[in-house]
Chain A
Amino acid sequence: MTVFKAFLKVLLKYKGTIILYSMILIIFGAINMSTSDNNVNFEDSKPDVLIVNSDKGNKISDNLVKYISDNSNINNDLKGENEINDALFYRNINYVIYIPKGYGNDIMSGKNPEIDIKSTGDYQASLAEMILKRYIQMQNVYKMNESSEDEFIKLINNNLSKDVNIEVTSKLDTTKLFNASTYFSFASYSIMAVIIFIVCLVLSSFKEKNVNKRTIVSSMNYKKYNNGLLLASFGYSFILWVFFIILGIIMLGDIMFKSRGLVYMLNSFVFTFCCLTIALFISTLVTNKNAVNGIVNVVSLGSSFLCGAFVPAAWLPNSVLTFAHILPTYWYINSNDLLKTMEVIDFTSLQPIFINMLVVLGFSILFIILNNIVSKYKHNAI
């Protein structure tokens, strides 16, 4: 109990750091979740298009604008070329269509006027281009046969109004699942950084040379001492995990109370435990408080970037992913990604996730063994 109390006492000394770190991570996590929607989730399959119509009032040009508007999200708030260029660069819009002056008249007089566009060149922009091309193509075919403007527009709109049957088989709420997976994957960074940072700082106070020597000569059994430290660090990690779960429930809602949510929780718990063993190993290895700061950043940022906590794993180069197999975060995030698309949750479908958890536990055992080896070596060196 003495050790436990001492741990808490030192921990409380760092409460400012813990709060600051957690707050920053929470804000980053929350914003990452809300802004990454347009980057990753393909739910919204209408491209963002801006139309600069210099031929307003002409029926043919207006019909083109109407068709594009029906098939895309129109953004017409931007003023001036600079704002348009900025929006294009930051992918706020995917495609800009400039309808030249006299476009409608040119069409009716049998010409095929050129249309200027600006494009980001990504998926959405390709879709926008398909939409535009389809219309122009149709215009070019029909104009050869119709002389009246209204007839011509009617013919085009009749053709465009037909829609093919599409059947969606999946019953999953992809947006919610996507958010849950993003949250838990991003949390891998938060969990890892805060646990390693705090556990290493607190334990380094215990391992300070003079304190350590006094502890060794005291009457306290070293096993009891070590167990106390372990228990306290575990308690701290557990509370942190509960905190992140509560935060998850607040942000994600009812999905957390379903069987899928429980698997997310279990998965993150196993990962939290693994982070604790890494923290204990690092604290044995390094006792300099200044160095801890650097190591935390390198380890946590490194594994987050390599394993897909910030950028979805599907978008990372294969060579990076192959390398990432040697890091526990990879297996944790892989489970989150699997959970995102899993249709039914039952024992057989969950098997790959259980295997991932076992791998993470394997890593934990490895770090415990390494920790013992290093501490034994260091103990002998005193």
Chain B
Amino acid sequence: MFWHNFKYSLKVLFKSKALIFWTFAFPILLGIFFNIAFSDIENSEKLDIIDIAIVKSDEFNKNIIFKEAFEGLSKGNDKLFDITYTNLNKAQKLLEDDKITGYLVFDDDINIVVSSSGINETILKYVVNEISSNETMINTLIKKDINNEIKKGNYNINYEKIYADAYKLVSKDTAKINNISNKNLSYTMIEYYTLIAMTCLYGGLLSMYIVNLKLANMNSVGKRTAISPIHRGKMLVSSLLASYVVQLTCLAILFIFTIFVLKVDYGNNLPLIMLLALVGSFAGLSLGVIVATLIKTNENAKTGILIAITMLGCFLSGMMGITMKYIVDTNVPLVNMINPASMITDGFYALYYYSTLDRFIFDIVSLLVFSFVIILISYFGLRRQRYDSI
């Protein structure tokens, strides 16, 4: 009987078009959308070449330090600026048309003109400040060197050499900075992790559907099952096993799709990834069971409730804005501790970003505790359910 029921449950599930759409097709479609929207986002956050203009004037030509500095910054592979040398009217026009970030005017002083405040504008201002402080440094060094020479009694000073030495000293990059950050810093990965979490929890739609078929108060199939002389527990377990199999099939497809087509990085530990997927799906399954058994309403409303719970969970774990997860994690950590979507997302995050497994194990254990508590509650809700008439 166990396998008989298992087989037919599988058939029923695979033939339900709406269920198959939500659990198979929808996550893949959403994955494609994420890929479209986020594929370029991290690149566009990197520092790009900034377009600026410099108004040509005698003052600029005379200011060798600035002239050379800007020439240096606008050539080579890692150049910072694309510079247009032009007159004031054209520079104003370029700024108005949003073709440049800002322009520089050299008169007695140096003036930067920008259209609004922003990061490119700040960088431009910063670079100008830096060059001008280099200028101050060079002047200080030259003054000092000349004084030293005079003190030594050497009046035949080689000004050009002093200038060249000072210039070299100031423009040499001597800052020793050692980047020790983790290389796995791609935060858009969280989006795909929430997608997996959503699919795990959408598995609840499958288990809910199959449990509803066994409930006498839901439909006539349930009534017929209830009066048949079969052990209810056995039947439920075999049906749930079928829904679990369907759920894992769709997860496997989603994994293959995200790894090979969308190039999502889940870290390198394949067995642990699979473990997380298995446990996550189990949490989804138990969620479906509790909604099916404890909430007494029609099937559509149950579906609505389950989808609402899943979407809320995914929202809090960062699906609609990655910062959301961080905000919840740091301000109300309890919410994400009882949110299965967040536990799954966090598990993948731990595998991707952390070198130790503490956090991952904590997530797995939380998911298991969550699932067993829920299954236990459903079990007490479902047992001894008898109808004299219905």
Which of B3-11, B42-50, B242-250 lies at the binding interface? B42-50
Instruction: Give chain B's interface secondary structure class.
Output: helix
Within the complex, which residue of B96, B98, B326 is in contact with A92, where a contact is CB–CB below 8 Å? Answer: B326
User: In the complex, what residues of A have CB within 8 A of residue B175's CB?
Assistant: 115, 132-133, 136-137, 140
Are A305 and B176 in contact (CB-based, < 8 A)?
A: no
User: In the complex, what residues of A have CB within 8 A of residue B178's CB?
Assistant: 114-117
Interface residue ranges of A85-134 to B (CB < 8 Å):
85-92, 96, 98, 112-124, 126-127, 129-134
User: In the complex, what residues of A have CB within 8 A of residue B118's CB?
Assistant: 42-43, 45
- The interface size of chain A toward B, counting residues with CB under 8 Å, comes to 87
Are A167 and B308 in contact (CB-based, < 8 A)?
A: no
Which of B30-38, B222-230, B253-261, B377-385 lies at the binding interface? B30-38
User: In the complex, what residues of B have CB within 8 A of residue A89's CB?
Assistant: 182, 185, 187, 349, 353
Are B180 and A165 in contact (CB-based, < 8 A)?
A: no
Interface residue ranges of A1-46 to B (CB < 8 Å):
17, 20, 24, 28, 31-32, 35-36, 38-39, 42-43, 45-46
CB of A172 closer than 8 Å to a CB of B: yes
User: In the complex, what residues of A have CB within 8 A of residue B121's CB?
Assistant: 45, 166
CB of A365 closer than 8 Å to a CB of B: no
How many Å from the CB of A93 to the closest CB on chain B? 11
Interface residue ranges of A35-89 to B (CB < 8 Å):
35-36, 38-39, 42-43, 45-46, 82, 85-89
User: In the complex, what residues of B have CB within 8 A of residue A160's CB?
Assistant: 133
Known contacts A170-B116, A315-B40, A31 near B185 by CB under 8 Å: no
CB of A163 closer than 8 Å to a CB of B: yes
User: In the complex, what residues of B have CB within 8 A of residue A359's CB?
Assistant: none
Known contacts A123-B45, A290-B17, A311 near B37 by CB under 8 Å: yes
Which of B21-29, B51-59, B154-162, B366-374 lies at the binding interface? B21-29
Are A127 and B174 in contact (CB-based, < 8 A)?
A: no
Q: What total count of A-B pairs have CB within 8 Å?
A: 223
CB of B83 closer than 8 Å to a CB of A: no
User: In the complex, what residues of B have CB within 8 A of residue A306's CB?
Assistant: 33, 36-37
Are B177 and A165 in contact (CB-based, < 8 A)?
A: no
Among B30, B129, B181, B321, chain A packs the most CB atoms within 10 A around the CB of: B181
Residues of chain B whose beta carbon lies under 8 Å from any beta carbon of chain A:
17-18, 21-22, 25-26, 29-30, 33-34, 36-42, 44-47, 95-96, 98, 109-123, 125-130, 132-133, 136-137, 140-141, 144, 169-170, 173-182, 185, 187, 304, 308, 311, 315, 320-327, 329-330, 349, 353-354, 359
Could you list 18 A-B pairs, sorted by A, with CB under 8 Å? A24-B311, A85-B182, A85-B353, A114-B176, A115-B175, A120-B181, A120-B185, A121-B46, A137-B170, A138-B133, A141-B141, A162-B129, A164-B125, A167-B112, A301-B29, A302-B29, A316-B36, A316-B40
